[in-house]
Chains A and B, each alone.
Chain A
């Protein structure tokens, strides 16, 4: 079973709207990362949030982490067409060997 998984397969929003992608995970973690993958490209890291942090921001992006419910969210405000991508969460499963397990991803389409 997936150690990390996003809760929606696909989302679509209109440009300028806000959107939230959710992720749940199954084990203790030391950190969770959010990545974005555009078509034909490798994933690019957006935010790394550690287990002792509750919120992290990066421009129009805001990630939250709730270790009690083992969940995280990534919110994007004022979406743009170039935000169209697949969004992954990845967790390290607190194994101590720094390898991350990725969810299957949420496909976000921003419509002009």
Chain B
């Protein structure tokens, strides 16, 4: 079954440390996205990609980098994690202007 798999499921990071969140999709979709969700709020787009080896900034890219080394894989990198980056992060994939398939999320706690 086509899916989006995120790893790790949860992580505790120290302030100033580097964090890498990984996402793998088996949907053969061109588009991949990283969103963050803060408690009680909707999803905000951080970075997205429509082709391997290329990424685009979303609405809240500051403090985050993204990497798309292949069609299947899309990573979100926090070079210097900060307390304000504590959130749940969701990866999604889609075809052009079609429904998104989301992963189960990564809970990140920065201390």
Contact = CB atoms under 8 A, between A and B. Distances in A.
Interface of A: 30-31, 33, 35, 41-45, 48, 88, 92, 97-105
Contact of B45 (A42, A43, A101, A104): A101
Interface of chain A, helix or strand or loop or mixed? loop
A107 B31 CA distance: 28
Nearest to B98: A48
Given A31-B97, A42-B90, A99 B45 contact: yes
Contacts, number: 52
Listed residue (B58, B94, B100) with the most chain A CB atoms within 10 angstroms of its CB: B100
Interface residues of B, number: 28
A99 B58 contact: yes
A3 B41 CA distance: 14
B42 A42 contact: no
B48 A99 contact: yes
B94 A42 contact: no
Nearest to A89: B42
11 contacts: A30-B97, A33-B100, A42-B4, A42-B103, A44-B102, A88-B43, A97-B56, A98-B96, A98-B97, A100-B45, A102-B44
B104 interface: yes
Interface in B86-104: 90, 92, 94, 96-104
Contact of A105 (B33, B42, B59, B96): B42
